[in-house]
Chains A and B, each alone.
Chain A
Amino acid sequence: EAQVTQNPRYLITVTGKKLTVTCSQNMNHEYMSWYRQDPGLGLRQIYYSMNVEVTDKGDVPEGYKVSRKEKRNFPLILESPSPNQTSLYFCASSSINRDRRNTEAFFGQGTRLTVV
C-alpha cells in the first residue's frame, strides 16, 4: 500500500530538548516536504527536498533542520524547540512531472507537537 509514515503521532516535550520527527515514503517519490498547520493559517511549508541530498527552505524554516540521505526518508529536526513551534506537522511526498510540477501529494497522518 502506498503510504507516507510519520512518527510519532503525538509528542509533548520541553523547551530546548532536541527532537526528531521521522517521515518515510514507499512510493519512490523524488519530492518530499514538511508543513506545519496552525489555525487560520492553513499549511505552511517548512522545508522541501527535490531529491537525495537536495533540500531547500520553504516559507517558515526558522528553528528547523532536515536531511535527505536516502530517497525514502526525510526527518524533521528541532534542535532547540520553543513553545511557538507547538503545531500540527505533516510530511508529504510526490513525484515531479516533465514540466517540473508536482503530481498528487501523499500526506502522512500528522504529528501533533506540544512544546512546554
Chain B
Amino acid sequence: DAKTTQPTSMDCAEGRAANLPCNHSTISGNEYVYWYRQIHSQGPQYIIHGLKNNETNEMASLIITEDRKSSTLILPHATLRDTAVYYCIPGYNQGGKLIFGQGTELSVKP
C-alpha cells in the first residue's frame, strides 16, 4: 500500500483558499488519489479523486503533479464548516481497500 505524508495541522482564514498538500511518492501507476475529510465524530466524507489530470468539482480542486508523487487539495473559499481532518489516500478505482494515514487537521478561523 502506498504511504502518504501530510502536514499534521494547518490553519486557514475564513474566505481564503486552503491548500492542503500530500506526498504519495510510492503510488503505483493505476492508483487514484482520493481525498476525504472527517468532521469530528462523523464518518468520512468523499471530496474528490483523480488519477493524472487535475480535477474540480463543487467542493474542491485537486492538483496532481506530473510525476504523480504529490498532490494538493484546494478549497477555494474556506468556511468555518470546512474545519475537519483531511485525508489523502491512494486507492484503486476498481476496488480494494482504503488505508487511512494520519491526515491534516485543518482549522478555519474567522
Do A and B come together as binding partners?
no
A residues with CB within 8 A of B: none
